[in-house]
Amino acid sequence: MFVGSCFGCIYGLVNCVVSVYLSARENKVSFRTELLDEIRFILQCSGNTKAVKYPKNSSRSNASSKSKGSSMSVDSLPEDNSEADTPGQHNHAK
């Protein structure tokens, strides 16, 4: 059990460092700066969300959202023009 816990801790640390490295590389900032920001956030111990530091441009975010799956906003939903809301008519069909 101890060996598994040690392996899990090592895996978590390596995963965190690789994630920070890829984020720094993608956003063209130094690895040291990005790692220090991540460590500060972890040690802050309050709150569970981070502010967006590097907003993605719209064309890039649209391409990534389409490849990751379906995502719809409330504004993109079609309007409901059903006749059920007209006064005097009731829809009893189920």
For residue 34, the tally of other CB atoms under 10 A from its CB is 21
pLDDT in tens, 53-72: 777 765 444 444 444 445 55
pTM for the model stands at 0.52
Give which of 50, 27, 25, 54 is closest to 39, Cα–Cα.
50
Of 27, 75, 69, 33, the closest CA to residue 52 belongs to 27
pLDDT, mean of residues 8-12: 96
Alpha helices in the chain (DSSP H): 2-27, 31-44, 58-68
